[in-house]
């Protein structure tokens, strides 16, 4: 395996002074290494496209090569700024992308992965080729120093983005890993807050849950209480749960509940300008100040008062709670409210190590949810 400490040394020796991205589970330790060692020269962005914009601006101001890291699920967010700005046919902006390859392909066979990563894994290489982004595949046997040097040379000569496509288990643990230790406080866990909320919400209310640990926690509750049919889990499409919930609420007369996360809502925050106009939407954000599903790295909007932002974006009811008593009180108010509602729940980071994953196919979940909404399925 490639030692993460060596990667940091190679980047510094290549005069890399700016790194931005959205954390990925494939190289979560590398993301933490960037955070711990590059400090103010490292920026966690709201979404991957924003990282490309930051990199373009940095290059224009310094004439140096920036680094942008992302999971391949974020390729969709970078297509526009890469092809319409950084492209060698437009502004010719050199940069190096480090991309985690979920749903990876080895010798024309796809490794086992979550369903939301399968299509993305199959088309990742084609997407890079279509965008005219030269790439090299990085695995545990690769010579990182040589590959990085060659890619940097190509980025400078061709004045365009280039990429490292990283396979699973490529990086070794850092020799002196700095652990993220949750602060001691009186806050409850996300799962405890979620269960408190769900138990008080009528079963007839449709639920749309965001990608990551929250959906897995909700799925376990649903299994125990035979409530799988009333939930649509956004296993992918980070940041789009509220838009999906808004689309459902647009058609339904009953209230619709969106269960969101702080990292997800930040990724496409502008969607609140639409959801806030729908009177039957209940938008709940569990804020633990981290990208919990991919390593616990801080979010780009760390410290943001989401309930204040939501109010400014048009939500008629907006509140923040930090404990069970406050949450129970807010639920009563929200269920009585006849306009759009927003609730920010402050909770701790982390989840159970034995948390299970959904077992059925995504099509089965979709059919159950559509039947719950009383639509016909095909």
**CATH number of the CATH domain containing 26:** 3.40.50.970
Q: Are residue 313 and residue 345 in the same domain, yes or no?
A: yes
**Total domains, the chain:** 2
pLDDT of residue 105: 73
- Cα first-last separation, the chain: 47
The answer for 169, left when phi > 0, alpha when psi is -120 to 50, beta otherwise, is left
Residue 377 lies inside a defined structural domain of this protein = no
One domain, residues 139 and 225:
no
Q: Distances from the Cα of 44 to the Cαs of 77, 153, 193, 236, 346, in angstroms?
A: 15, 26, 26, 20, 21
Choose one of 112, 146, 172: the last residue of a domain.
172
In sequence order, what DSSP letters do the residues of 105-128 get, joined into one string? EETTEEPP--HHHHHHHHHHHHHH
Which of 139, 172, 205 terminates a domain? The answer is 172
Asked whether residue 166 falls in the same domain as residue 235, the answer is no
Asked whether residue 184 is domain-assigned, the answer is: no
pLDDT of residue 181: 47
Structural tokens at position 339? 């306009």
Q: To which H or E segment does residue 1 belong?
A: none
Q: What does the pLDDT profile of the chain (378 residues) look like in tens digits?
A: 899 989 999 999 999 999 999 988 888 889 888 988 888 899 999 999 999 999 999 999 999 999 999 999 999 999 999 999 999 999 999 999 999 999 887 766 666 667 777 888 889 999 999 999 999 999 999 999 999 999 999 999 999 999 999 999 999 877 655 544 444 457 889 999 999 999 999 999 999 999 888 999 999 999 999 889 999 999 888 999 999 999 999 998 899 999 999 999 999 999 999 999 999 999 999 999 877 767 667 787 788 999 999 999 999 999 999 999 999 999 999 999 999 999 999 998 887 888 888 888 999 999 999 999 986 544
Q: Cα(293)–Cα(212) distance, rounded to whole angstroms? A: 5
148 with 60, same domain: the answer is yes
Sort strands 134-138 and 207-209 into parallel, antiparallel or unpaired: unpaired
Q: Which residues, 6+ apart, have CB-to-CB distance to 101 below 8 Å?
A: 26, 72, 121, 124, 137, 165, 166, 167, 168
The token pair at 288 is 């633990």
| pLDDT at site 295 | 66
The DSSP bridge pattern shows strands 105-106 and 109-110 to be antiparallel
177 lies in a domain?
no
Q: Are residues 16 and 155 in the same domain?
A: yes
Is 260 part of any domain? yes
Q: Does one domain contain both 139 and 206?
A: no
Beta-bridged to residue 2, according to DSSP, are: 171
Residue 183 lies in a domain: no
Positions of E strands within 51-112 = 67-71, 95-100, 105-106, 109-110
Cα–Cα nearest to 196, from 330, 355, 336:
330
378 in a structural domain? no
- Domain span at residue 222 reads 190-372
Q: Does the residue 268 lie in any domain?
A: yes
My answer on whether 243 and 291 are in the same domain is yes
* DSSP letters for 305-363: -HHHHHHHTT-SEEEEE-SHHHHHHHHHHHHH-SS-EEEEEE-BS---TT-----S-HH
Both 362 and 286 in one domain: the answer is yes
Domain membership flag for residue 338: yes
- 165 & 251 share domain: no
- Last residue of one domain, picked from the residues 172, 207, 227: 172
* Whole-angstrom distance, CA of residue 348 vs CA of residue 354: 18
Q: Are 133 and 160 in contact (CB under 8 A)?
A: yes
Same domain, 203 and 312: yes
CA separation for the pair 81, 133 (Å, rounded): 13
Based on the domain organization, do 95 and 147 belong to the same domain? Answer: yes
| Burial call 329-366: b when 16+ CB within 10 Å, e when fewer | ebbeebeeeeebbbbbbbbbbbbeeeeeebeeeeeebe
Same-domain status, 165 and 199: no
pLDDT of residue 108: 65
């Amino acid at each position: 395996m490639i030692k993460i400490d060596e990667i940091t040394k190679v980047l510094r020796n290549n005069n890399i002074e700016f790194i931005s991205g959205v954390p990925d589970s494939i190289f979560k330790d590398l993301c933490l290494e960037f955070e711990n060692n590059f400090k103010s020269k490292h920026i966690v962005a709201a979404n991957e496209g924003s990282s490309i914009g930051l990199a373009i601006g940095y290059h224009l101001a310094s004439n140096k090569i920036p680094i942008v890291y992302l999971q391949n699920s974020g390729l969709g967010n970078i297509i526009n700024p890469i092809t319409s700005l950084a492209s060698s046919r437009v502004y010719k902006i050199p940069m190096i992308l480090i991309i985690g390859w979920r749903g990876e392909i080895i010798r024309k066979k796809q490794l086992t992965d979550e369903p939301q990563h399968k299509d993305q894994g199959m088309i990742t290489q084609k997407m890079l080729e279509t965008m005219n982004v030269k790439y090299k595949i990085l695995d545990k046997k690769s010579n990182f120093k040589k590959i990085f040097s060659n890619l940097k040379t190509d980025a400078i000569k061709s004045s365009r983005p280039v990429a490292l496509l990283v396979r699973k288990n490529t990086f070794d643990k850092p020799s002196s890993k700095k652990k993220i230790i949750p602060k001691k406080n009186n806050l409850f866990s996300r799962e405890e807050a979620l269960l408190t909320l769900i138990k008080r919400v009528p079963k007839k209310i449709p639920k749309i849950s965001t990608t990551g640990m929250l959906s897995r926690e909700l799925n376990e509750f649903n299994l125990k209480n035979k409530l799988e049919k009333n939930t649509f889990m956004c296993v992918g499409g980070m940041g789009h749960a509220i838009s999906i919930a808004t689309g459902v609420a647009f058609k339904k007369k009953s209230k619709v509940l969106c269960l969101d996360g702080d990292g997800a809502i930040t990724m496409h925050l502008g969607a609140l300008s639409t959801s806030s106009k729908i009177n039957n939407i209940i938008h709940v954000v569990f804020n633990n100040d981290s990208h919990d599903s991919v390593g616990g790295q801080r979010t780009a909007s760390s410290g943001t008062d989401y309930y204040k932002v939501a109010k400014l974006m048009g939500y008629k009811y907006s509140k923040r709670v930090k404990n069970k008593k406050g949450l129970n009180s807010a639920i009563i108010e929200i269920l009585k409210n006849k306009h759009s509602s927003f609730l920010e729940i402050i909770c701790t980071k982390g989840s159970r190590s034995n948390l299970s994953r959904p077992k059925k196919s995504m099509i089965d979940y979709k059919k159950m949810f559509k039947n719950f909404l009383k639509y016909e399925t095909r």
